[in-house]
Amino acid sequence: MRRRSCLPALLPATAGLVFSQQAPRQILEIHTPSPVTSAVFAKTGSQMVTLCKDAKVRVWSLPESKLLRTIDPSSGHRVNALSDDGRWMLTGDRAGNMALYDITTGQARWQTRLPRYPGPARFSHDGKLLALAAQGDPVQVFEAGTMRKLYELESPIGGTNSIAFSRDDSRIATVDGDTLIRIYDAHTGRRLAMNNDSLVEPFTIDFTTDGRYAIAAGGDKVVLFLDAATGKVIRRMDRTAEPASYLELSPDGKALVTSYMKVDNLLLPAPTVVWDVASEHRLAEWLPPTRPVGMSWVRDGRLLAATAAPDALHIWRLH
Amino acid sequence: MRRHPLTRRDLLLKGVALGSVTVGPALTVSDSLAAWQSEEAAARKPTAWNELGPFYKRKAPSNPNLRQPGDPGLPVSVSGRVFDTKGSALRAAKLEIWQADHQGHYDLDGYRYRATLTAGSSGEYAFTSVMPGHYPARVCQHIHYVVTAPGCKPLTTQLYFATDPVFEGDPARNYTRDPLIQSAGLVRPVTLTGDPKEVVAAVSFEIVLERL
């Protein structure tokens, strides 16, 4: 992969929306009985799960904004992961109590207790595997149908910040507290590659659509493209003013979204940028009115984000 | 019949009686017991885990003076020793520490308020810094630690200050105001010393690692 242009560092935050090639715009407003604290979009784009301040999980159809179901997990649970098809939802609380819900029935199908509160969790794209970790502990990989534990990944100091499956679910990548990026065989849990180029811990990772490269970013304020077979960095995007807390490649692999964090105050909203992967041109830049409570590409190629107001959830199309 | 678990003392005495524990000619059973009991007394509870936090940066310099001359903020000196749970001092344990400056800002680009220290021959360590400010996304002032030593389980933890206004003078009761603090033992007393115009805060923080 070859970088084709140089871009200036991320501009200082600008008030309001900044439109470039595509204008991010609000496409839905959903009135909610309780303020939403997190929203997770199913990759189908037809369903969204919200966690509200009243501790209830609400399942919505999109774009109808119809409330399909209300699930009442034990108090204090948060939504940790949603399968791509929107059927399975993993929740957990600060005591480490975890529950796997079948969204179609609203029933918990599996429960367990981790040694401490949950860290990252991710379903494989086909929904057959579930990778999850207690904060600071190694990632455990389960067969999602039976919740039989298959294996445990390595145990980095500080645990794992984020997990990604390759699109064909053959590989798992993690960005870890010890600043390393690790890539594993998803069938066996064996480590295939590792990268230690980062000085500050990376926070977020994804794979290119063909699985040949992993893309990671974090405290070093640079997006890295790594060869998934060797772990070697083969491309670096220009350094930005703030670190990316989240990145995800579009379904067609042509666009990359990076959401930034304000290091001096994580509570403040920070820009989200959509990049053209080949040229590194900015396709869109969005400064949300408040910190987004959810963001994801969906299969039809739209990039959706959610921001919360006290009585409503606003859904944005960023690309 | 109710069964009482055997203490280590009982086990030793039974072992001697059964011949499965042999006491050398220079030692009496009471000597052995005394030695064992002394080791038991030295045994320490492992330091409570706390999450790594989002801004760990490796390769921090080994300079224990995190506070540079003229740095604003309350000067603070932190010292302690590193042990294992048997009470043995862990010479050459590695401590990586980092914190926000007095205004709650972390330095990601450089190594301000970051250091890698090596414990001395008695497991001792010390550094000088400034009292960290309140980071907006966190409740309490804190200093991050990663501590490693051969043969021991690595520890990530955080040091908190009993003087933090969040605790309203009663950290034992109020430490859970920061949901990340799951042990009151991580909130350490602060001793203020020095001239009223140049007050220095001193904190002692002992680290105990679990053996692998």
Of B108, B148, B182, the CB nearest to A243: B108
Residues B88 and B38 in one domain: no
Q: Is pLDDT above 70 for B24?
A: no
What whole-number percentage of chain A has pLDDT above 70? 93
Q: B54 lies in a domain?
A: no
Q: Which residues of chain B approach chain A closer than 8 Å at the C-beta? A: 49, 51-52, 54-59, 104-106, 108, 136-137, 146, 148, 154, 156, 179, 182
Which backbone phi and psi does A29 adopt, to 5 degrees?
-130, 120
**pTM, whole model, 2 decimals?**
0.87
Q: How many residues does chain B have?
A: 212
Do residue B136 and residue A267 have CB atoms under 8 angstroms apart?
A: yes
Among residues A63, A34, A38, the alpha carbon closest in space to that of A49 is found at A38
Residues B91 and B162 in one domain: yes
Selected residue with higher pLDDT from A76 and B102: B102
Q: What CATH class has A35-317?
A: mainly beta
What mean pLDDT do residues A145-173 have?
97
Per the prediction, chain A carries an average pLDDT of 92
* B30 to chain A, closest Cα gap in Å: 40
Q: Is pLDDT above 90 for B210?
A: yes
Measured between beta carbons, which residues in chain A are less than 8 angstroms from residue B54? Answer: 201, 203, 219, 266
- Structure confidence by residue, pLDDT tens digits, B91-100: 999 999 999 9
Which backbone phi and psi does A285 adopt, to 5 degrees?
-135, 135
Residues B98 and B182 in one domain: yes
Residues B145 and B92 in one domain: yes
Confidence (pLDDT) at B28: 59
Do residue A94 and residue B59 have CB atoms under 8 angstroms apart?
A: no
Query: The domain spanning residue B88 has which CATH number?
Result: 2.60.130.10
Q: B12 lies in a domain?
A: yes
Q: How many CB pairs under 8 A join A and B?
A: 65
Q: Which domain holds residue B95?
A: 75-209
- Backbone dihedral region for residue B32 (phi beyond 0: left; psi -120 to 50: alpha; all else: beta): alpha
Q: Which residues of chain A approach chain B closer than 8 Å at the C-beta? A: 94, 116, 135-136, 157-159, 177-179, 199-201, 203, 219-221, 243, 263-268
Measured between beta carbons, which residues in chain A are less than 8 angstroms from residue B56? Answer: 158, 177-179, 200-201, 219
Q: B195 lies in a domain?
A: yes
Selected residue with higher pLDDT from B75 and B182: B75
Q: Contact at 8 Å (CB) between A13 and A275?
A: no
Q: Contact at 8 Å (CB) between B159 and B186?
A: yes
Interface test with A, best of B47, B50, B57 (most A CBs within 10 A): B57
Measured between beta carbons, which residues in chain A are less than 8 angstroms from residue B52? Answer: 136, 157-159, 177, 201
Q: Is pLDDT above 80 for A1?
A: no
Residues B190 and B135 in one domain: yes
- Structure confidence by residue, pLDDT tens digits, A56-96: 999 999 999 999 999 988 778 888 999 999 999 999 998 99
Interface test with A, best of B49, B107, B108 (most A CBs within 10 A): B108
Integer-rounded Cα radius of gyration of chain B: 21
- Give the pLDDT band (50/70/90) at residue B137: confident
Domain boundaries, chain A: 35-317
Q: Contact at 8 Å (CB) between B124 and B93?
A: no
* Domains identified in chain B, total number: 2
- Give the pLDDT band (50/70/90) at residue A15: very low
Measured between beta carbons, which residues in chain B are less than 8 angstroms from residue A266? Answer: 54, 136-137
- Structure confidence by residue, pLDDT tens digits, A219-276: 999 999 999 999 999 999 999 999 999 999 999 999 999 999 999 999 999 999 999 9
Residues B201 and B146 in one domain: yes
Q: How many residues does chain A have?
A: 319
Confidence (pLDDT) at A201: 96
Confidence (pLDDT) at A11: 40
Confidence (pLDDT) at B182: 87
Instruction: Give the residue from chain A lying closest to B147, CA to CA.
Output: A157
* B128 to chain A, closest Cα gap in Å: 23
Rounded Cα distance between B118 and B94, Å, is 5
Confidence (pLDDT) at B41: 61
Which backbone phi and psi does B30 adopt, to 5 degrees?
-65, -35
